[in-house]
Structure 1
Amino acid sequence: MNRLITVSLVLVLAVQVYSQGPFKEILLAVRRGMVQDCKESLGATDADVEHIINANEPENRVQKCLAHCAMKQFGVLNGRKFNKQGFASVAKLVIFLDKRKSRYVDQVADECDKIDNEDLCEVGAELMMCAVKGLQRRGIQL
């Protein structure tokens, strides 16, 4: 729980400096820090981490498992189940300066909520790409 509070505070601070500097780099640093435990537990490489935190489609099993672990760390995934509220909270932090786009987050959450897969790594990869592509189709880059 403390980690979630810390991450939330870091995200809020990152969002607050959005108009003052390189927001994307700050967001990537937050993502990088969040998946450090995942990287170590999975034996992922720095290249695997960079691939996932830059919202690229996972290319191998380790990257798919890293996507699952990262989504779990961000509160977007609970086991095999997509957490619509967790996704909406994280995504809306990223786009808070553009209230018009916040409705798109709910649309994407509804689309991704339908995904189900017994394999945790596969469901992580599928949900990650559903969210990324759904937001991109609506003009939102992560």
Structure 2
Amino acid sequence: MSPYTCLFATLLVAVAVSGAPHEDLSKEHAAEVAQECKTETGASDEEVQHMLQHEPTESHEGKCLRACMMKKFEIMDDAGKLSKEHALELIKHISKDDAEKESAGAEIVEKCEAIEVPEDHCDAAAAYESCFMEHLHEHGLSLAEI
């Protein structure tokens, strides 16, 4: 399961071009990172489960859980902005050489990078998540497919 599967389930929708977060992408790794973020943000087990099941959250802790995941996987930078480069690398990694999915993912990243997001990183993560989910749906994709 990708971070987006786990985060956006996230993220997303997070990825270093040459360094590691996306190279060690697995359901188990994402769950480990989610537990780290749970501790850091004060999120509940229920909020972790909502994230892992692609369910939106309204709680601030749940949103911060997503922001933490996005930062750990480098989808969101320290300024609370989407890292286009890392998001594209993630899409490439999780699309498994499917050119159509990679192309749709790149288009989604472009659109979501361009949105205005709140200054609060937790709220920004929720806005990015919402954007990705909306555009995945428009392309007939689900997180599990990418």
TM-score scaled by structure 2?
0.75
1:46 equivalent in alignment to 2:32: no
- Between the two proteins, what is the percent identity of the paired residues? 26
Does the 8 Å CA contact 1:28/1:54 hold for their aligned counterparts? no
Deviation string, structure 1 residues 107-126 (Cα, Å, up to 9, x no partner): 11111112321111110111
CA shift for structure 1 position 105 = 1.2
Aligned equivalent of 2:142: 141
TM-score scaled by structure 1?
0.76
Aligned equivalent of 1:92: 92
Describe the shift of the 1:61–1:48 C-alpha distance in structure 2 as closer, same or farther (beyond 3 A). Answer: same
Describe the shift of the 1:80–1:7 C-alpha distance in structure 2 as closer, same or farther (beyond 3 A). Answer: closer
Does the 8 Å CA contact 1:92/1:102 hold for their aligned counterparts? yes
Amino acid at match of 1:84: K
* Higher helix proportion: 1
Which ranges of structure 1 fall in alignment gaps of 5 or more residues?
Answer: 12-26
Q: How many pairs align?
A: 124
Aligned equivalent of 1:81: 81
CA shift for structure 1 position 92 = 2.4
Task: Quote the Cα distance in structure 1 between the aligned partners of 2:87 and 2:130.
Answer: 13
Task: Quote the Cα distance in structure 1 between the aligned partners of 2:96 and 2:57.
Answer: 27
Q: If you compute each CA radius of gyration, which structure gives the higher value, 1 or 2? A: 1
CA shift for structure 1 position 6 = 4.8
Aligned equivalent of 1:120: 121
